[in-house]
């Protein structure tokens, strides 16, 4: 029965992937067709030509981002290396690096004093990808694209790192909280009715965390609008 269930689940994911890719990639490809119109003796200095070029430019950027999303998700399996070690003494510098790269507000970082002597079984690149995805999502879904992030790193029972990332964006419905980990699920739509991205970010995080023996939890904040993602990662 379990084998049949796994096959059905895999088949459902394949159908979902095919449907999503068909929709997601067709839209920017259609935008690139506007380049063909420039061959029709159009004055390249005209407003129409500039408009067509802008459409093609935006479409090419969207197409590139969506293909890279798919490739990053597929390539994330290569980061599940058993001999990878991340020194937690480097955590703060990694957080500041991402905050600077993404032009975020200053971070509020709280860490245990004994964190400096601890390590987790996680690749440096894998942890950076996870944090980059979380920070990017917080910025993307924040009402003003300017979140204030609070990061807490605590040692539990001397065997687990509890890494919590909280933002001040918005609460999520119970349905969203339950489904955001499913590949290709997308919770918030553009005003055009289309969602940015491929819906693979959080499912990639789940794959990396579980693959390294950890766990995760996502929940709404009690003290203000926003969410908290809690990662439980085993120490070594």
pLDDT tens per residue across span 159-212: 999 999 999 999 999 988 888 887 666 544 433 334 454 456 788 888 889 988
pLDDT tens per residue across span 110-130: 999 888 889 998 989 889 989
Weakest mean pLDDT among 6-10, 70-74, 136-140, 175-179: 6-10
Name the residue ranges covered by the structural domains of the chain.
2-77, 81-234
Q: Which helix (H) or strand (E) holds 62?
A: helix 47-75
Q: What is the pLDDT of residue 149?
A: 98
Weakest mean pLDDT among 74-83, 151-160, 165-174, 216-225: 74-83
2-77 in CATH: which number?
1.10.287
Q: What is the pLDDT of residue 74?
A: 67
81-234 in CATH: which number?
3.30.565.10
pLDDT higher at 71 or 112: 112
d(Cα 232, Cα 162) in Å, to the nearest integer? 5
């Amino acid at each position: 029965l379990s084998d049949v269930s796994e096959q059905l689940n895999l088949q459902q994911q394949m159908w979902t992937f095919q449907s999503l890719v068909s929709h997601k990639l067709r839209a920017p490809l259609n935008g690139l067709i506007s380049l063909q119109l420039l061959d029709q003796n159009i004055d390249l200095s005209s407003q129409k030509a500039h408009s067509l070029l802008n459409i093609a430019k935006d479409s090419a950027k969207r197409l590139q981002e969506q293909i890279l999303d798919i490739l990053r998700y597929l390539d994330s399996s290569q980061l599940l290396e058993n001999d990878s070690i991340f020194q937690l003494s480097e955590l703060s510098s990694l957080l500041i690096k991402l905050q600077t790269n993404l032009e975020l507000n200053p971070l509020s970082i709280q860490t245990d004093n004994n964190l400096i002597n601890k390590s987790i079984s996680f690749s440096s690149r894998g942890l950076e990808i996870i944090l980059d995805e979380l920070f990017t999502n917080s910025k993307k879904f924040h009402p003003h694209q300017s979140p204030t992030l609070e990061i807490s790193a605590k040692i539990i029972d001397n065997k687990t790192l509890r890494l919590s990332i909280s933002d001040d964006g918005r609460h999520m419905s119970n349905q969203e909280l339950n489904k955001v980990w499913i590949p290709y699920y997308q919770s918030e739509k553009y005003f055009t009715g289309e969602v940015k991205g491929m819906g693979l970010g959080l499912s990639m995080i789940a794959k990396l965390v579980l693959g390294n023996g950890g766990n995760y939890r996502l929940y709404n904040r009690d003290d203000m609008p926003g969410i908290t993602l809690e990662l439980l990662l085993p120490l070594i």
